[in-house]
A and B are shown apart, each in its own frame.
Chain A
Amino acid sequence: QVQLVQSGSELKKPGASVKVSCKASGYIFTNYGMNWVRQAPGQGLEWMGWINTNTGNPTYVQDFTGRFVFSLDTAVSTAFMQIFSLQADDTAVYYCTMGPYLDHWGQGTLVTVSS
């Protein structure tokens, strides 16, 4: 069965960076794109963009350009989402979700930005 296992919670100071991992199993990793979704505390879901796991080409929604980077290590079927220059309003749960229409989701990674 498809499983996406994300890395654990992170507590970071403003200005730092964070890298969230998402390890996939149960399917051929390069057959399906990987999406990233943000959920701020008590809020709804925001699609951040996706990465083509075949070519490595990322596509970002406008609000997530500049400080956000999607990457892959296809040898270990893992996708990464990195945030640079963290700000307080980056505090959120970040989900990886595979497939063109968000078929399966990881358990989420809470990133807290606080001084």
Chain B
Amino acid sequence: DVVMTQSPLSLPVTLGQPASMSCGSSQSLVSSDGNTYLSWFHQRPGQSPRRLINKVSERDSGVPDRISGSGSGTDFTLTISRVEAEDLGVYYCMQGTHWPYTFGQGTNLEIK
């Protein structure tokens, strides 16, 4: 199985400041169809996860443009340009290129 490794596991931030987190995969996530199936999910405490980003950088409907995804191959980044209170919680990356889908262990975005 493809191993997804996120860092850092805990990310203390100041509201209004930028934040960035990384996700690495043990194999390239470029699919035979040319797409890279790397998604980001956000889970607030006590809530179900919500997908934010699909295929590395495609924002889902309703996701603010201060949240962006980038990367290629085996290295990916989620960036929040100005952290707001609603952004706190755990962020998971997930690869959907290789079977079975696998998640990273999560990055907990918390107030400094």
Contacts and interface: CB of A to CB of B under 8 A. Distances in A.
Interface of A: 35, 37, 44-47, 49, 61-62, 95, 97, 100-108
B109 to A, nearest CB: 15
Sort chain B's interface into a size bin: 20 to 34
Most buried by B among A61, A95, A101, A106: A101
B51 interface: yes
A58 to B, nearest CB: 13
Contact of B48 (A95, A100, A101): A95
Main secondary structure of the interface of B (DSSP, over half): loop
B106 A44 contact: yes
A95 B103 CA distance: 14
Contacts of B54: 101, 103
Contact of A102 (B94, B100, B106): B94
B87 to A, nearest CB: 18
A46 B41 CA distance: 13
B41 A102 contact: yes
Contact of B92 (A45, A62, A95, A104): A45
A47 B102 contact: yes
A44 B105 contact: yes
Contacts of B41: 45, 102
